[in-house]
A and B are shown apart, each in its own frame.
Chain A
Amino acid sequence: MTEANDKPEVTLKSGSALEKTYVSGQFVCTGEVGPPMESSFHHVDMYGEAMKGRVDSINLTDNQTAMTRLASWGAAIRLIQLGLEPNWQMTCRDRNRLAMQADMMAAYALGVRNLLCLTGDHQAFGNHPGCKGVYDVDSLQLISIAKRLRDDGCFECGAECKKPPKFFIGCAANPFGDPFEFRVTRLEKKIEAGADFVQTQCILDWDRWAKFMDLVVQRGLHKRIFISPGLMPVKSPKMARYMQHGVPGMIVSNEFCEFLEKAENGKIGALDLTVDYVNRCKKMEGVAGVHIMAVAWEEVVPLVVTKAGLLPRPFAAFKDNPAPISDEIKALWKKATVENYVPELA
């Protein structure tokens, strides 16, 4: 970890806590909440509160796996209302460039500062498989659009935008996709297009991830973009094995599965493994932070970040007084038998 005064004075692009933390060279920690399939903020509020002061910013997924959910922008604004910092996600599947730029202007005006530009899972996966996948632009072109607005003050068509949105631009990378040899080049293309930070697909095969980072560091990409691997606590060994064999495109190592299988309490094992990965990441060259994506298990994020020694966060709101854990969250912990994982939080 480098000290803030080691770095020369840097002009911030968006001014978000996430950006400040990355730029300062301190280890970043972000969380994630999947918005609900209903017109209510109950879950967003509950999980948001639990992550208050415990993460730098929180991802809001955008119709994840093409299942229609409360819009990422809506959840993002809700988090702002709660005093939290959202990472707004936008897929290319659901909007054309008009809507994208329109939403960008609105979201920015409402206080959103971090934007992840993603391609999006194909609509065939979701609950409206017959809908038209828009794909007016792809993720690289979307990154360029966001950058052009921010740095050149103009829209994709070239017309001037007097008060342009200035986002801290994020993207995704999949070290487990094919062709493997090309994945690093693709990341480089995203850097060239203007991405500032990248969150990877969740790491369930450490060796392949290490290989990927080797190539990244070799090319010096870590010096041009901030890299946060995604880490996902996998609830059960059965689920890990299912993901290994039953989910196309997912690579799960035997090491990962075996660790969970050998653990006395599967759920504790999952948390231990995630904490272990956080610690490995801290020591890994090129890694600027971690992204805890506890999909369908958001309640364990406070446990993981505390146990992994990631607190306090340097720039997040409520960094000095993270929110107390609600009864509802504690009840969820109890149900998962992990209520004593971090005794001081129990």
Chain B
Amino acid sequence: MIVAEGKPVEKILEMVAPFKKVLIAGCRGCVTVCLTGGEKEVGILASQIRMARSKDGNPIEILEQTEERQCDVEYNAKFLENVEQVDAIVSLACGIGIQYLGEKYPSTPIFPGVNTLMLGANIDVGKWEERCMACGDCVLDKTGGICPITRCSKSLLNGPCGGSQNGVCEVSKDVPCGWQLIYDRLSEIGQLDKMREIIPAKNWLRAKGPRTYVREDLTLDRS
């Protein structure tokens, strides 16, 4: 899922400094699951900001609302009543939700309360690791189910580079060498011969947009 972390509150305070009434919008999707932007975190941030502004003698009124998602217009419609009352919105959804909520209410300034970090797996409580970069051209069949774009620091398609030592990437001992992982996995499933193939240069158009995806067979004609 999408993993995000909370922005430092000093930055958020700067964003809302000129405003007296603000809505903090949470999302029950990915940011709840990664413990960053759900109803609880909305409450915590709201409390923190209220106290900070009170301390500075510049009180702020904060409304709190969390809905299913912020990446669907029907859910964003649910924020209308509160948005009409406030001067600005701080959204704790991922970058997608923040923007999409902003598109729904274009005349209200909208601010990011989180930094969207990655597409990651939840390894254990409080721990997430990146696994995918949405590169648009999945090669997991060639690499034993381990992604070279995300798990190799250099995103090499024909790794490992010379810096791989003891299964560890040259960049940091905390980073396993993605290609060592691929090599080990391919060995385990008896597909090591796949590493003899040279994978040609990537079409990066697939990996960088702005990208759109349309299913012609499913689009709805409402006329």
Asked if chains A and B are in direct contact (CB within 8 A), the reply is yes
Which A residues contact B (CB, under 8 angstroms)? 92-93, 97, 119-122, 124-125, 133, 135-141, 144-145, 156, 172-174, 176-179, 182, 185-186, 188-189, 192-193, 201, 248-249
B157 touching A138, Cβ below 8 Å: yes
A-B contact pairs, 16 of them (CB 8 A): A119-B156, A122-B154, A133-B154, A141-B200, A141-B201, A144-B198, A144-B200, A145-B201, A178-B160, A178-B164, A179-B180, A179-B183, A182-B183, A193-B198, A249-B163, A249-B165
B164 touching A185, Cβ below 8 Å: no
Closest to A175 in B: B162
B162 touching A137, Cβ below 8 Å: no
Q: Which 6 A-B pairs have the closest CB atoms?
A: A174-B162, A249-B165, A140-B158, A138-B156, A119-B161, A141-B201
A residues less than 8 Å from B158 (CB atoms): 138-141, 189
A139 touching B161, Cβ below 8 Å: yes
| Cross-interface CB contact of A141 among B157, B166, B172, B180, cutoff 8 Å | B157
Task: Determine how close the nearest CB of chain B comes to the CB of A245; give it in whole angstroms.
Answer: 13
B residues less than 8 Å from A140 (CB atoms): 158, 198
Give A115 to B92 CA distance when docked, in angstroms. Answer: 50
A residues less than 8 Å from B154 (CB atoms): 92-93, 119-120, 122, 133, 135, 138
Give A177 to B164 CA distance when docked, in angstroms. Answer: 6
B residues less than 8 Å from A122 (CB atoms): 153-154, 163, 169-171
Give A149 to B184 CA distance when docked, in angstroms. Answer: 35
Interface centre among A121, A136, A177 (most CB of B within 10 A): A177
9 more A-B residue pairs beyond the given contacts A177-B163, A178-B164, with a C-beta to C-beta distance below 8 A: A122-B171, A124-B171, A136-B202, A138-B157, A141-B158, A141-B200, A173-B162, A176-B165, A249-B164
Give A216 to B177 CA distance when docked, in angstroms. Answer: 24
B162 touching A201, Cβ below 8 Å: yes
Q: Which residues of chain B (98-116) have a CB below 8 Å from chain A?
A: none
B residues less than 8 Å from A144 (CB atoms): 198, 200-201
Give A185 to B196 CA distance when docked, in angstroms. Answer: 7
Closest to A141 in B: B201
Number of interface residues of B (CB under 8 A): 32
B165 touching A248, Cβ below 8 Å: yes
Give A51 to B180 CA distance when docked, in angstroms. Answer: 40
Task: Determine how close the nearest CB of chain B comes to the CB of A172; give it in whole angstroms.
Answer: 6
Give A69 to B27 CA distance when docked, in angstroms. Answer: 47
Give A292 to B158 CA distance when docked, in angstroms. Answer: 28
A residues less than 8 Å from B183 (CB atoms): 179, 182
B201 touching A136, Cβ below 8 Å: yes
A178 touching B204, Cβ below 8 Å: no
Give A140 to B188 CA distance when docked, in angstroms. Answer: 25
Closest to A174 in B: B162
Check B155 for interface membership: any CB of A closer than 8 A: yes
Check B1 for interface membership: any CB of A closer than 8 A: no
B residues less than 8 Å from A174 (CB atoms): 162-163
Give A119 to B162 CA distance when docked, in angstroms. Answer: 8
A residues less than 8 Å from B160 (CB atoms): 177-179, 182, 186
Check B78 for interface membership: any CB of A closer than 8 A: no
B residues less than 8 Å from A192 (CB atoms): 198
A residues less than 8 Å from B198 (CB atoms): 140-141, 144, 189, 192-193
Closest to A176 in B: B165
A residues less than 8 Å from B202 (CB atoms): 136-137
Task: Determine how close the nearest CB of chain A comes to the CB of B117; give it in whole angstroms.
Answer: 16
A residues less than 8 Å from B162 (CB atoms): 119, 172-174, 177, 201, 249
B155 touching A135, Cβ below 8 Å: yes
B166 touching A182, Cβ below 8 Å: no
| Cross-interface CB contact of A189 among B153, B163, B168, B196, cutoff 8 Å | B196
Check B173 for interface membership: any CB of A closer than 8 A: yes
B195 touching A248, Cβ below 8 Å: no
Task: Determine how close the nearest CB of chain A comes to the CB of B137; give it in whole angstroms.
Answer: 14
A residues less than 8 Å from B6 (CB atoms): none
Check B159 for interface membership: any CB of A closer than 8 A: yes
Check B59 for interface membership: any CB of A closer than 8 A: no
Check B167 for interface membership: any CB of A closer than 8 A: yes
Give A122 to B157 CA distance when docked, in angstroms. Answer: 15
B residues less than 8 Å from A137 (CB atoms): 201-202
A residues less than 8 Å from B166 (CB atoms): 178
